[in-house]
């Protein structure tokens, strides 16, 4: 079997690693001209953590990661008004929990397969022709190639999904928020291993210190109708952030000034992808392209790895890819719908829509200092109620 994977983020390399292990020939096509870095800090745990262990990548992930100690909510004067210790998460996961930049996880996964799969950077899929016995793929570089199956692992704004299933608007559920992230060198003050966040009604800005004297910043703001800005228009995105946060307190004015020193800016809508089926003929989707939970769900990267693992498991015996796609969808659909529902319910926690909701959110975080409350709340959110199939 020969499979084309679109996307070299989290999902694509994970899928490629397992398919190569099962003897499948793999080609990865990636729109970017090089491996993308940056993004935002993610928390990594659960079944995705178990998959990384099966790939023997945990030592690298732990080395790249951070043992975050505290989530701290502060007021305009930087006084602590809420938050909690992260120890509860480590306790409930038996230490199988780490925070790290999403780009670092993507890099670790990519380098684990770069010598075992053909990778085409700076290419996009222009056309798919599913003949029933294979898929003819026209690439932007002018070549046409044949594959037994094509997998869209190309994220929320999937090109494969658009070509095989239709416009993104058919499947996107916008959750009412936008998010942005960037990092700079030499920012002060620094609070090591503390995620510091300042929240006002409808918006939040946060920072987290990284190695090498770097600091990562995260913006979340409520935006009822969404923002239609081209992904490549960084200046327009910066303008939106300055407008939405220009009168925000705490260190926000200083952070906005630092934005011009950033090498790159991540900016997007906070949305979910909801589909009745993740495949059509010999073309299938996985990761955010199929079932994006949203950044606010807190587990997108791990869920992407889970999807890739289950899909590879179904494809490993060869035969009809369509039958494998059906089994893959049936095994994960209920689990991922539940994760999407949890994320949708949790979204308002980041940028509450009223002063009373903001006050209650801050008070609720203090309750996480009570072990019984923390264990109950954490257990509901941290346990992945799914069994991974054998390797």
- DSSP secondary structure code for residue 51 in this structure: H
Please tell me whether residue 62 adopts helix, strand or coil conformation.
Answer: helix
Q: CB neighbours of 154 closer than 8 A, spacing ≥ 6?
A: 6, 7, 9, 12, 31, 160, 161, 289
Residue carrying structure tokens 């690439």: 139
Would you say 25 and 315 are in contact if contact means Cβ atoms under 8 Å apart? no
Closest alpha carbon to 83 in 167, 251, 198, 255:
198
Query: Regarding beta strands 118-121 and 125-130, do their DSSP bridges make them parallel or antiparallel, or are they unpaired?
Result: unpaired
Q: What is the pLDDT of residues 272-288, one digit of tens each?
A: 999 999 999 999 999 99
User: Which H or E run contains 330?
Assistant: helix 321-346
Q: What is the pLDDT of residues 25-62, one digit of tens each?
A: 999 999 998 888 767 899 999 999 999 999 999 999 99
pLDDT of res. 381: 64
| pLDDT tens digit at each of 391 positions of the chain | 999 999 999 999 999 999 999 999 999 999 998 888 767 899 999 999 999 999 999 999 999 999 999 999 999 999 999 999 988 888 888 899 999 999 999 999 999 999 999 999 999 999 999 999 999 999 999 999 999 999 999 999 999 999 999 999 999 999 999 999 999 999 999 999 999 999 999 999 999 999 999 999 999 999 987 777 777 789 999 999 999 999 999 999 999 999 999 988 999 989 999 999 999 999 999 999 999 998 777 788 999 999 999 999 999 987 889 999 999 999 999 999 999 998 888 878 888 999 999 999 999 888 877 777 767 766 666 678 899 999 8
Residue carrying structure tokens 């719908």: 337
pLDDT of res. 366: 87
What's the angle, vertex CA 314, arms to CA 311 and CA 315, rounded to 5? Answer: 85
Burial call 170-202: b when 16+ CB within 10 Å, e when fewer? ebbebbbbbbbbbbbeebeeebeebbbbbbbeb
Burial call 26-57: b when 16+ CB within 10 Å, e when fewer? bbbbbbeeebbebbbbbbbbbbbbbbbeebeb
- Token pair of 110, please? 């990519």
pLDDT of res. 378: 64
């Amino acid at each position: 079997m020969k499979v084309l994977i679109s996307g070299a983020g989290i999902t694509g390399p994970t899928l490629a690693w397992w398919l190569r292990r099962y003897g499948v020939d793999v080609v990865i096509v990636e729109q970017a001209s090089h491996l993308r870095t940056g993004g935002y800090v993610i928390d990594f745990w659960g079944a995705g953590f178990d998959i990384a262990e099966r790939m023997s990548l945990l030592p690298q992930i732990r080395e790249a990661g951070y043992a975050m100690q505290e989530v701290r909510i502060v007021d305009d004067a930087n006084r602590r008004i809420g938050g909690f210790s992260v120890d509860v998460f480590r306790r409930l996961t038996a230490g199988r929990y780490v925070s790290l930049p999403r780009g670092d996880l993507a890099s670790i996964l990519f380098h684990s397969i770069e010598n075992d799969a053909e990778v085409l950077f700076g290419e996009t899929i222009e056309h798919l022709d599913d003949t029933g016995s294979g898929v003819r793929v026209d690439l932007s570089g002018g070549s046409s190639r044949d594959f037994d199956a094509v997998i869209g692992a190309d994220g929320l704004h999937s090109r494969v999904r658009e070509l095989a299933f239709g416009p993104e608007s058919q499947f996107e559920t916008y959750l009412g928020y936008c998010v942005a992230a960037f990092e700079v060198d030499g920012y002060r003050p620094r609070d090591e291993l503390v995620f510091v966040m300042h929240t006002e009604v409808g918006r939040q800005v946060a920072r987290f210190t990284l190695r090498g004297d770097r600091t990562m910043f995260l913006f979340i703001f409520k935006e009822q109708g969404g923002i239609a800005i081209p992904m490549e228009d960084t200046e327009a995105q910066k303008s939106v952030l300055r407008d939405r946060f220009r009168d925000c307190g705490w260190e926000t004015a200083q952070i906005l000034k630092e934005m011009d020193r950033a090498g790159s800016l991540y900016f997007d809508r906070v949305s979910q992808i909801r589909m009745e089926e993740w495949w059509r003929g010999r073309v299938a989707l996985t990761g955010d392209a199929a079932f994006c939970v949203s950044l606010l769900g807190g587990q997108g990267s791990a869920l992407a790895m889970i999807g890739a693992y289950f899909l590879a498991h179904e494809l490993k015996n060869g035969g009809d890819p369509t039958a494998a796609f059906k089994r893959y969808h049936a095994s994960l659909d209920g689990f991922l719908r539940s994760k999407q529902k949890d994320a949708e319910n949790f979204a308002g926690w980041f940028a509450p829509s009223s002063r009373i909701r903001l006050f209650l959110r801050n008070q609720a975080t203090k309750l996480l200092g009570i072990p019984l409350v923390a264990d109950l709340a954490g257990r509901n959110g941290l346990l992945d109620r799914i069994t991974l199939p054998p390797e």
